[in-house]
């Protein structure tokens, strides 16, 4: 039995089904960093809100409250969906009902004239106290990291660019989606060697 010549082993193998090339590895690393950052951001939002009011809310619900408060002007569901780049209107409406029940948001208008939502006096106070906790805990932590604050504008711009790229990819995928049950036209046909029933 021949001895195998074992080459130098890499300590980590980063290749997998979403990362078959160096470019795919970089995109996969970015995507999983986004997932982890999104979850951490949600945890922070929920905990920061809980520190200023006894109201259980998810990260997206907290974000919705601050979007409603932004510029102190009423906003429609369509406005909120556009601001958050969301399409799940039923979930937005559920969150709005929860915020209304908690006394943080008020609903006004009618179906014909248009329904809008705005922060109540309690909602504005909660948003202001949330901003105070954010200024005390989060912003100084960022400032303590060397040059991190200077890189935030470029990071925000990069995320905006990636948002546009993902949205374009969504449109492409929706345009060229295969119908269920339709055979893939690009599947290679079987050769005689691949068909066991074919006789020479």
Query: Higher confidence at residue 200 or residue 92?
Result: 92
Residue 183 located in a structural domain: no
Residue 96 located in a structural domain: yes
Number of folded domains in the chain?
A: 1
Residue 181 located in a structural domain: no
Q: At what angle do helices 59-69 and 121-143 cross, to 10 degrees?
A: 110
| Mean pLDDT of the region 125-135 | 97
**pLDDT at residue 52 above 80?**
yes
Q: Which letter, b or e, does each residue of 127-159 get, where b requires 16 or more Cβ atoms within 10 Å of its Cβ?
A: beebeeeeeeeeeeeeeeeeeeeeeeeeeeeee
188 pLDDT band (50/70/90 cuts)?
low
What tens digit of pLDDT does each residue of 2-19 get? 555 555 667 777 678 888
CATH of the domain at 117: 1.10.10.10
pTM: 0.78
**pLDDT at residue 170 above 80?**
yes
DSSP state of 75: B
Residue 130 located in a structural domain: yes
pLDDT at res. 6: 56
Residue 8 located in a structural domain: no
Residue with tokens 């202001």: 128
Residue 193 sits at φ, ψ, to 5 deg, of -70, -25
Q: How many CB atoms lie within 10 A of CB 62?
A: 26
Residue with tokens 């021949």: 2
Q: What share of the chain is helix, strand, coil (3-state, %, to 5)?
A: 60, 10, 35
Report the alpha-carbon distance of residue 95 to residue 107 in Å, rounded.
Answer: 13
The range of the structural domain enclosing residue 163 comes to: 22-172
Residue 192 located in a structural domain: no
Residue 111 located in a structural domain: yes
**pLDDT at residue 82 above 50?**
yes
Residue 28 located in a structural domain: yes
Give percent above pLDDT 70 in the chain: 84
| Lowest mean pLDDT, pick from 69-83, 90-104, 170-184 | 170-184
């Amino acid at each position: 039995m021949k001895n195998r010549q074992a080459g130098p082993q890499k300590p980590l193998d980063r290749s997998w089904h979403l990362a078959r090339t160096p470019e795919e590895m970089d995109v996969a690393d970015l995507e999983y960093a986004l997932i982890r950052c999104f979850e951490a951001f949600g945890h922070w939002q929920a905990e920061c809100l809980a520190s200023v009011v006894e109201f259980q809310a998810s990260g997206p619900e907290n974000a919705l409250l601050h979007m409603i408060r932004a510029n102190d002007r009423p906003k429609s569901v369509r406005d909120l969906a556009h601001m958050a780049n969301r399409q799940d209107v039923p979930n937005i409406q559920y969150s709005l009902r929860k915020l209304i029940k908690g006394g943080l948001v008020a609903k006004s208008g009618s179906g014909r004239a248009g329904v809008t939502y705005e922060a109540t006096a309690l909602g504005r106070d909660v948003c202001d106290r949330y901003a105070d906790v954010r200024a005390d805990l989060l912003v100084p932590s960022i400032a303590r990291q060397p040059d991190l604050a200077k890189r935030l504008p470029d990071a925000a711009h990069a995320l905006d660019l990636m948002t546009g790229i993902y949205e374009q990819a969504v449109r492409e995928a929706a345009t060229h989606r295969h119908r269920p049950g339709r055979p893939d036209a690009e599947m290679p046909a079987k050769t005689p060697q691949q068909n066991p029933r074919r006789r020479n």
